Amino acid sequence: MRTSIATVSISGSLVEKLHACAAAGFDGVEIFEPDLIASDHSPEEIRGLARRLGLTLDLYQPLRDIEGVDDETFAENLRRTAATFATAHRLGIGTVLVCSNVATATVDSDEHSADQLRRLGDVAARYDVRVAFEALAWGRFVDDYRRAWRIVELADHPAVGVCLDSFHVLSRGHDPAAIEDIPGEKIFYLQLADAPALSMDVLSWSRHHRLFPGEGDFDLATFVAHVLATGFDGPLSLEVFNDTFRQTDPDRTAVHALRSLIWLQDKVAALPGVRRAAGLTPVADAKPPVGFDFVELKAEDTSDVEILLEQLGFVAGGRHRTKPVSLWTAGDVRVVLNEHQARDRTPHVAAVGLQVPDGDATSRRAADLMAPVAYRRTHASEQALGGAIAPDGTEFFWVTAPPAGSPPPWVAEFENGLPPDSASPLTHVDHVNLAVPWQTSDEAVLFLTSVFGLAADAPTEVAGPRGLVRSQVMRTDDGSIRLPLNVAPQVLEASEMPQHVAFACADVVAFARQARSRGLRFLAVPDNYYDYVAGRFGVEESVVAELRELDLLYDRNRDGAFIHFYTRTVGSVFFEFVQRIGDYDGYGTDNAPVRLAAQRVRTTG
């Protein structure tokens, strides 16, 4: 289907926005009136620029507080609308958005509003434009799309139809099924936005917290399916009011936005009963990852990490035959240390490897979704990995999962190493925690959702010494992949937030004793914490004493228990070792403030 986006959804001047939307691959745009007013280009110049860029101008908006008023006020409104229709005509735009009245409405009557829309249609027809009437969620009298449609029906004018906006429908909890009662030719425009589930007034929610499809909690696929069932054949258009998107790079945001529409079309096409003739853009099908393949740490000098890995019982698995890269293993766990092109960089998580059911399918899907390609130089005898770059710069690579018990083929590229220790108590990578900048956190959610099929858990907030850390876990249903995304407080850059890799242990207490015997320094935990654990959980004194001795942390819920510990931070990376007991599925979130405070003490002490 054709795609469009409102210029209010991205930053920059109107000219910059048009260039960004065209470069991303959008078919058209909605012109937001304030963008035109602030522009030093005439409507004719904007029309010509759009034509040269290959963009259609699909909608001019908004006309506010028009209907539901007394006759004297409406006479003035007709003068105002005529001027707006004239501007739309100069732009070459055939549809103007008219919002339901939120401020000046005094007559609560469908017949009265319909009569005024009919008269508005007469004026619009003289300028060769149409009126798309939209029920705002906070409209004074008209706040439901079903009532807006009744008014349009009563108006019975060929130049008057409805505009459907997913936010205004879904934020109020209205059932979108009745959309199918509207003839497709009377749906003059469709606007789409996602949003998180929030408890706040709908106006503030709408103005500041809309998201692109796939980043929030709305069921947009079903909403769009209802619209397509009417025979609607207009563009899928994004109207996203969001404080972040309106201050970040417009070129990047436009690509991000189009990716969300491609993902949405894929979700709609997968619904049963959706018309195949709807022209939805196909996306290659790829199953979610089945496990972690490797974690890569990068630095100019990785020797401090090597010492840490040795203390943790990892085995040096060899040096890459063509690159300054080494492999470290513990059972089936693989850590890659990369010193290639890393001048002045301290250790950090640079890449995450995933095992997927079909690597080629994942590569095709990533390409369809315009994921930036992660390039790695490879020789003819080396395995080429599929790869994409996440919004925070972390590289994700994938390989087709090898048979059980077999390493992936790329491991053979590492020479002169020791074989993995099959008796290692480490079983797998439990999760990889990434620090993401605030301005790319929503984009990161969409990237992981669309490319890899991960789902987003409900976000949590953790109190740290320098502010709240917002965390959202992206994961597969079975938990084989878990990627907590931590958004730093605004006083910190994302680079100041440590990242960490968590490894699962069969017996974390025994593993901690072994690591300590090899000289490992654990992250120190204050005594007050163990008094708290004893009081909260009623843990036996002997168990508390063992936890205290080894600097272990503890959590428990009705599903099971969680025991874990942390290493010191090297560069911006530390390791965590965890044991899940029973069906415990969390991350010891209540222990995070203790960890953040301990890391703060070590950093400043």
The binding site consists of 134, 165, 191, 239, 431, 500, 576
Counting Cα atoms < 13 Å in the Cβ hemisphere of 466 gives 17
- Greatest Cα pair distance, the chain, in angstroms, is 89
Q: In Å, what is the CA distance from 437 to each residue of 12, 331, 349, 471, 560?
A: 21, 34, 15, 12, 33
191 by Cβ neighbours in 10 Å (0-12 / 13-18 / 19+) ranks as buried
**Spatial CB neighbours of 444, under 8 Å, sequence gap ≥ 6:** 390, 391, 392, 436, 474, 485
Separation between Cα atoms, residue 358 and residue 480, nearest integer Å? 16
Is-cis flag, bond preceding 62, omega within 30? yes
What is the separation of C-alpha 459 from the centre of its chain, rounded to a whole number of angstroms? 12
Separation between Cα atoms, residue 168 and residue 145, nearest integer Å? 8
Structure tokens at 104: 């000046």
Separation between Cα atoms, residue 553 and residue 475, nearest integer Å? 23
Which DSSP helix (H) or strand (E) runs through 604? helix 592-604
Buried b / exposed e along 43-52 (16+ C-beta atoms within 10 A): beebbebbee
3-state secondary structure of 546: helix
In 476-535, which ranges are E strands?
Answer: 482-487, 499-505
3-state secondary structure of 20: helix
Q: Which residues are annotated as a binding site for Mg(2+)?
A: 431, 500, 576
User: DSSP label at 321?
Assistant: S
Is the CB of residue 3 less than 8 Å from the CB of residue 283? no
Nearest to 131 by CA among 113, 152, 111, 110: 152
Q: Which residues are annotated as a binding site for a divalent metal cation?
A: 134, 165, 191, 239
Handedness of CA 98, 101, 103, 105 (dihedral sign): positive
The secondary structure of 327-396, three-state, reads EEEECCEEEEEECCCCCCCCCEEEEEEEEECCHHHHHHHHHHCCCCECCCCCCCCCCCCEEEECCCCCEE
Residue 333: strand pairing partners: 330
Q: Supply φ then ψ for residue 116, to 5 degrees.
A: -70, -35
